[in-house]
Amino acid sequence: MTGIVLVVAKAPTPGRSKTRLVPPLTALRAAELHGCLLLDTVDACRREVADTRVLYGSESDRAPLATLLPGVPLVQQEGRGLADALRLGIARHVNQGPVAIVSSDIPGVPHGALTATFEALDNGADVVLGPAMDGGYWLIAMREADSRPFENIPWSTPAVHAVTLARCEAAGLRVVELQAWRDVDTLVDLAIIARDPELERASNTARLISELVPSLPEPPPLELVASELLASSPWRDHIDDRLLWEGRETSYSYLGAPRAVFVAAITAEDEMLLVRQYRHPVRDWPLEVPAGSVADGESSLEAAQRELHEEAGGEAADWVHLTTFFSSSAHLSLRSDAWLATGVSVGEAHPDEEERVTLVRMPLEEAVRTARQGGFAEGQTALTILLAAERLGPTRESGGV
């Protein structure tokens, strides 16, 4: 049976590619790594399946991808977010034959994996999954479109593979699994594949990683055995991972949360825009900078711009990325970006229906002084304000021109 392969990709652009590796990598180096992974994955797919196409997200990705991958057909994703990209990618192409969707975050594909995928579908499998070693999957393939494997999945958590299997089982779908493969999202992933002898087959990635090896740490002595989703909501997932740590099995329970943004928004009058809203876990109305989760398929900057508009009715003339940080790395996966927005004009706020947000304008000098004196109970807000003050410098911070 022949089939179609769709490689999910975006253009390797500094600031948009492999941002979880920045720092320690520079944005330029991270984008170069993304380009190497994409080249090696597309090449490996085309060696096994002639009809290999690239499924890209934004129209701005088309031109650079066409330059990087001459002769490879480009297909724009439909819908919004990863679930739509996968579900509709299969639905729109399966009338031409069975479809396999492959991640571009991997260093090529295991030898013979795509041949085995289409053979399994030809022999009656409804779904083929290629598990990733971080708990996700690097390949999903179907011979008929079915939306159920993509419904209510805790994307970007180690429970993705396990929950997808559960969705398939509940739907009565026959699943065949390929060998586990490693994707590259974090510095630990990079350190591990740098020591993998199979990396030699991914020549572009191997070349780049060889230059990075001196700066990479020793990978931790652990293996993810299984991941269980204990509870789920639109904002967070309670996950329990079973790990092999130096040969001894242990478990680690934590909260998986979508990426978030925090905005230090400053008006032309040198006022900082803050908001108050009730936070049930602490039974209080802490004073905060505008903030919120990054939606599936949304960039960090897009989320920051949306949150400023929704919570404060704000539109900024200029945006600067301050840093990326983890709020509590021992307890939850929340990864956040702090942004500085200047020249902000204020209009009508548009909070979500369930939000009760009050806008507070505070002189910039007072906001910085309060943060330095420990006056903000919300730690992520304090950090964002202090980083903004550092970027603005003493003249602007003190209200000068």
pLDDT reading at 401 higher than 50: no
Please tell me the pTM assigned to this model.
Answer: 0.80
- Tens of pLDDT, residue by residue over 158-188, are 889 989 999 999 999 999 999 889 888 888 8
Q: Is 317 exposed, middle or buried (0-12, 13-18, 19+ CB in 10 A)?
A: exposed
The percent of residues above 70 in pLDDT, for the chain, comes to 97
The Cα–Cα gap between 264 and 280 comes to 23
- Give the pair of three-digit tokens for residue 321: 């990325």
**Residue 34 confidence (pLDDT):** 95
Describe the crossing of helices 27-48 and 203-212 by its angle, rounded to 10 degrees: 150
- Tens of pLDDT, residue by residue over 98-115, are 999 999 999 999 999 999
User: What is the rounded end-to-end Cα distance, in angstroms, of the chain?
Assistant: 69
364: which residues sit within 8 A by CB, 6+ positions away?
266, 270, 271, 272, 392, 396, 397, 399
- Element at 260 (helix H, strand E): strand 260-267
**Chain centre to alpha carbon of residue 189:** 15
- Tens of pLDDT, residue by residue over 382-399, are 999 999 999 998 756 555
